Each structure stands twice: as structure tokens, then as C-alpha cells.
Structure 1
Amino acid sequence: MENELNIPDHPAGGPAGARVLLLGGSGLLSGAAREAFLAAGSEVTVVSRGLKPLPPHPRLRALRADRRDAASLAAALSGERFDFAADFLAYDAADVERLLAVPGFSPGRLAMISTGQVYLVTRDQRPPFPEAAAAAPVIPEPEPDTRDWHNWTYGMGKRAAEAALAAGAAARGMPALALRLPVVQGEADGENSRRLWAWLQRMRDGGPVLLPDGGAQPVRFVYAGDAALALLRLAG
């Protein structure tokens, strides 16, 4: 029998019995990852602020912590050891450094969810972007409190988080990677950003589909369940 994400129970090569940590576990992508790892037979620990209840499961453990509070994070994770960890809540260098500074904490292989926005803060953008394009010079900071500024702040923060992850992993001899995802979509988007809803409504009402920037700005999407499967493969 298959679950809602079409992930077979205990798939061949899956991390059955692995101790998996998810920082975040109730969002669009992190919720899909939680279900994928549980279906694969993993022992899953979710760290969150506990604002959204998680579906009960015998192999699911929920720990409450404020990711941006070092004492709270240490109280939850001190001495904890895992085989694989996925960090959905790292938005700047301090977030990564705070996690890796928890006493006695071992994430195993650590995958940080990053973003294609790291490319969109660079000069002379020519999509599609090769990985090395993120090393290009960055654009100046836009006018504060504008949409461009918020996007720039997000992209720059993720770039700093990636750099902190690389430095922290090298210092500890720890396997780690930053997974730069495009725009994530899925059924749970109705509970989160609703980025896709306007397009779906336009298709249903029969009106013409609008092309921002005249169609000159190609955007890629990934299904949350497929991204969750990628994390499953990384853990296996």
C-alpha cells in the first residue's frame, strides 16, 4: 500500500530505522519530508515551536524549541545524535552557527534547504543558472521595505547560511550540503503561501493567463513530494 505522497512503505534503499532530525516539520516541504521519512521506516524527530500540532505516529517525536534562541535550541538538542538532519529553518549564518554550537549535538549528514534566490541577487543574471553562478558579484541593496529589498534580504541571508554551513562542516569533518530548490508547490500550499492559487483560479475561470514581465522571467517549480523524495535519497 502507498501513502498520499506515493512513497512505498519501507522502499528499497530507504533509511528504515535511521534516526532523522527535521528542523521544521509542519510546512509545505517539511511536512512532506516528515511523511516521506515515516513511510520509509525512519525514527523521526521534529524540532519546531509547536504552533501547529503534528499527526500522531509511533515513530514521530516532537521537540519544542525556538530556532533563534540558543538556550532553547540547546535544551532540545544537547547530546542528541542523528544519522541525517534536514534544516528547513536556516535563513542566515547565525541560524546555522547556533545549531552547530549545541553541546554534544551530532546531525549526521546535514542538508540545509536553500533557494534559487541565491542566484537572483547577482549581477548579469542569465537563467537557467549553473551552480557556479552563485559566486558572481551581487547587486546593491535595494530600497528598504520594498519587495525587491525583501527578496534581496532573503537571498543574501541564504548565501550567508550556505557559507556558514560549508565552514562549519569543514571544521567538524561533517558531511553537509545546501539544497537550492526552485519554487516549491504542493497540496499544502493552501495552508501556506498560496503562491499558486491565483494561477489556478485564472485557469478555472477561463480568463487569459497573465505573463509577468512579458514572459521574459522563466521560473521553475518543484513538487513538495518530489523534493521530499530527494531528501530521502540523500539520507539513504
Structure 2
Amino acid sequence: MDRLIYTAMTGASQTLSRQAAVAHNLANVSSTGYRAEEHRLRAVQVNSNAQQKGLPTRAFAVDASTHVDFTPGPMMHTGRALDIAVQGNGWIALQMPDGSEAYTRNGNFELNVNGIVQTRNGIPVQGDGGPIAVPPDVKLSVGVDGTISALPESGAQNTVSVIGRFKLVSPPDADLVRGEDGLFRMRDRSAAPTDERVKVAAGSLEGSNVNPAEQMVSMISLARQFEMQMKMLSTADANDKAATQILAMR
């Protein structure tokens, strides 16, 4: 009876957490550069301090880890100069307000009033020596290695100048952790080194790698699993009442 109650109770609780993760994935089906997440569960035996410990029949189902699917998403051509997509493995570095670095696959960038390249949320993009500043009245182009070139729109239009380069990194997936803001960081909070092998595609964006059909099937499966676990609790309660009545009759 104990094993049934503990397993069903904790299993139902963690099933709700997995449903929340699936719902979050479905909400980001159209989010640029989003990486799907999955909660992994494991069983943990309940330890007792009593002298008579009895049989080890009680176990909790706990959230062991949050797995991130790093599979690249589909490429979408936009033709916009400040839209870039990382090809294969790699990340674009951002400069956070506290001076640390964060990493993203969302290359949908813009210029602020001071000509600084930033994300849609106002976070500056990290260059070779800090934020990338773009002079006014120029036409931008981005090379496959992340180099940003500027061509004047007036005057001598045959002079191309390099104004900066996106910092592109490729740390091991196991060293990255997703923050509450959706950006990834190194587990030790260090700055990943620049990786010259990372390439980008200008005028394109990477879509979310969430498979909506797969996530919907997971949501239905989790809902049925939750119903089964609640049914198990109801069955345990009914069995307990029946056993109490039999003992009372004696």
C-alpha cells in the first residue's frame, strides 16, 4: 500500500511538471532559435530514521534533470541584413548588463539609437572588442565568418570597411545551461572562447526545433498518465477503507 501511494502521489506531481515543460515548448513553436526542453525523472528510495526500518518499498519519483534538445532548427530566409543564422553547431555571444556573456541562436538583431547592434530585448551583441557600433548611412553585409562590413550609401560608394565581427563560440553542449531568460550560459559562468570554425548565414533566421506533432502526442500521453496515477490513489483509498471495515467487524 505504501509503495502504491508514494509512487502514484509523486508521479502525479512530476507529471504536472512535465506537462508544463511540454506546454512551454508548444508556446515557443514559432520562437526564433528556441531549443526544446524535456524533464527526465528517476525513482529515489525514501530513507527512514526509525529503528525498525521495514521493507524498502517506498520510493519517490523526482525530477532528475532538464534535458535540452540541441538539434538545429529549420532555416528561414528573410533577406534582412541583420538577420543571421548559425550553421551547424555554434552560438552568438551577447554582452549582459553585469558584464558576463550569454549565448543565443536567435540572430534577429537591430540597431539602437546609438547604432549598437542588439537583440530585440535590447541586449548588445558581443564583438571582438565589445559591442558592435555601426556608423550612420551605411549598407551592412555579414560574411560567413561573422564579419560585418559597411558600404556608404552616399559619397564614394566603392569603399567597403570592416566595422566589427560577431563573437561566435561553440562550447560543448554539456557545459551550457539555460537561464530563466531563455539564454544559455557556461555552467562555471566563464566566457567561452571564439571558435573560428563556426559559420553563419546572412539574411536568414533559424526556426524553433520543437516538433509540434510530437509535443501534442506527449501532452496527451502525460494527461492520460496523470489520470491513471490519480486513479491509483483512489484505488488505494478504497482498499484502505475496505480493510478498515473488515478489521472493525472482527
Answer yes or no: same fold by TM over 0.5. no
Q: TM-score, length-normalised on structure 1?
A: 0.19
More helix by share: 1
The structure whose RCO (Cα within 8 Å, separation 6+) is larger is 2
More strand by share: 2
Bigger Rg over Cα? 2
